[in-house]
Chain A
Amino acid sequence: MAKPILYSYWRSSCAWRVRIALALKNIDYEYRPIDLFSEESKNNAEFVKHNPAKKVPTLVINGLSLTESLAIIEYLDEAYPDPPFLPKELDKRSYSRAIALHIVASIQPLQAINIHKMLNEKEPGYGDFWCNHFVNKGFLALEELLKKHSGKYCVGDQLTIADINLPSIIYNAKIYKVDMSKYPTITRINEILAEDFRFKLAHPDNQPDAPNKN
């Protein structure tokens, strides 16, 4: 079987999540960089074949072309059950998914690279204000959710789909100068995750297309 292929961009939060998931499942894959700011890169014929919408991440695995980070992660969890990304308990499964979706659907889209750029072009500094605003708004709710449900990790004492989604949004929060001292639970969990070598492997700075590697 050919190695899975991940079309990724070093700083893409969505691709980062999939990189974490692949590392946790110990799946060896081939990294294919797609420069999100280069039309030439996005129009790469092989990439477009697998994802006509030209979005990262796209995972080519077991003959499938998969898109949308959470759909990819759910697929990986069903196809490669160890270690599990979702607890057995019904309530914890719901909380894990709810936290993951809160990050992916309520925070991430509003501070995506393209939004930030577009709004800063509209008025210099407005994109920064906007992203800071929506990350803070999202984190207020996230902190409450984590206070309720976290143990060592986001939900109880087992790594879940919620944890996979956390580091990327915090990385961006720091870029947008969010004051993390207001979010002690979020910060504590992220610090624990940062020590896990699989999370380190997936970090933007450690990707083949990270700027300091070129």
Chain B
Amino acid sequence: MSNQKPVLYSYWRSSCSWRVRIALALKNVDYEYKTVDLLSEEAKSKLKEINPAAKVPTFVVDGQVITESLAIIEYLEETHPDVPLLPKDPIKRAHARAISLLVASGIQPLHNLKVLQLLNKKEAGFGGQFAKQFVVEGLTALEILLKQHSGKYAVGDDVTIADLSIPPLIYSANRFNLDLSPYPTVNRINETLADIPAFIAAHPDNQPDTGLNA
């Protein structure tokens, strides 16, 4: 194993980066944080040399470049199995992954920055409208899943990969000024997670680039 610290290319407010930061903190992995200014074309050009999609998070470890937050988290799960983020039980594993994927593929892409920008160019305010609609639809589906599968946490009574999706989603929902009262289970779990040190350490407000472009 290389002596070099893994590097995480991240942006403080990126939901996808936030998920990986939580996983790294839970597994107590020491890493180097490299800021990517998502509003800077120059910064994204440089990132493109490492990751053709020019997206954060990008994780560089042992000379290997891993992209996509859930692929990074699965890699961490396989290489740092202590503090497991996937239960052993195949049922719970499937549900934990399903909840993560609901957020990562069903909700978050529909309110990412480029999407909103393109829609707002079409018609001022349309981006926000669009984003809100899909966050609401997503939260509704998530609430249903969590009612079925949650214990103290999203799936049963241990923190899983599913929990990593919840704080960034609620943060985004708050930025869109959404009414969260229809989602009591999501809120309850989010409040429980907010007290865990690893989740605090990973919060956007606690990053080296906190406040950039704010």
**B109 beta carbon closer than 8 Å to chain A:** yes
Partner of B67 from the list A102, A104, A109, A123 (CB cut-off 8 Å) is A102
Query: Contacts A101-B70, A105-B70 given; 4 further ones with Cβ under 8 A?
Result: A102-B53, A105-B104, A105-B105, A110-B110
Q: Complex Cα distance A166/B124, Å?
A: 35
- A:57-111 near B, CB below 8 Å: 64, 66-72, 74-75, 78-79, 90-91, 93-95, 97-98, 100-102, 104-106, 108-110
B105 touching A104, Cβ below 8 Å: yes
B68 touching A71, Cβ below 8 Å: no
A52-B75 contact given A66-B94, A68-B97, A106-B109, CB 8 Å threshold: no
Q: What is the minimal beta-carbon distance from A27 to any residue of chain B, in angstroms?
A: 15
Partner of B98 from the list A68, A102, A115, A144 (CB cut-off 8 Å) is A68
**B93 beta carbon closer than 8 Å to chain A:** yes
Q: Complex Cα distance A55/B105, Å?
A: 13
B78 touching A93, Cβ below 8 Å: yes
Residues of the A chain whose Cβ atoms lie less than 8 Å from the Cβ of B101: 68-71, 104-105
Count class of interface residues, chain B: 35 or more
Residues of the A chain whose Cβ atoms lie less than 8 Å from the Cβ of B174: none
Most buried by A among B94, B122, B144: B94
**A45 beta carbon closer than 8 Å to chain B:** no
Chain B residues packing against A (C-beta within 8 Å) = 52-55, 64, 66-68, 70-72, 74-75, 78-79, 90-91, 93-95, 97-98, 100-102, 104-106, 108-110, 115, 118, 122, 126, 140-141, 144-145, 148
Chain B: which residue is nearest A72 at the CB level?
B94
Interface contacts (Cβ under 8 Å), in number, total 112
- A:142-200 near B, CB below 8 Å: 144-145, 148
Residues of the B chain whose Cβ atoms lie less than 8 Å from the Cβ of A29: none
A53 touching B144, Cβ below 8 Å: yes
B75 touching A93, Cβ below 8 Å: yes
Residues of the B chain whose Cβ atoms lie less than 8 Å from the Cβ of A210: none
Q: What is the minimal beta-carbon distance from A154 to any residue of chain B, in angstroms?
A: 13
Q: Complex Cα distance A104/B145, Å?
A: 20
A94 touching B102, Cβ below 8 Å: no
Chain A: which residue is nearest B141 at the CB level?
A53
Residues of the B chain whose Cβ atoms lie less than 8 Å from the Cβ of A52: 144, 148
Chain A: which residue is nearest B51 at the CB level?
A141
Residues of the B chain whose Cβ atoms lie less than 8 Å from the Cβ of A78: 90, 93
Contact with B along A126-140 (1 / 0, CB 8 A): 100010010000001
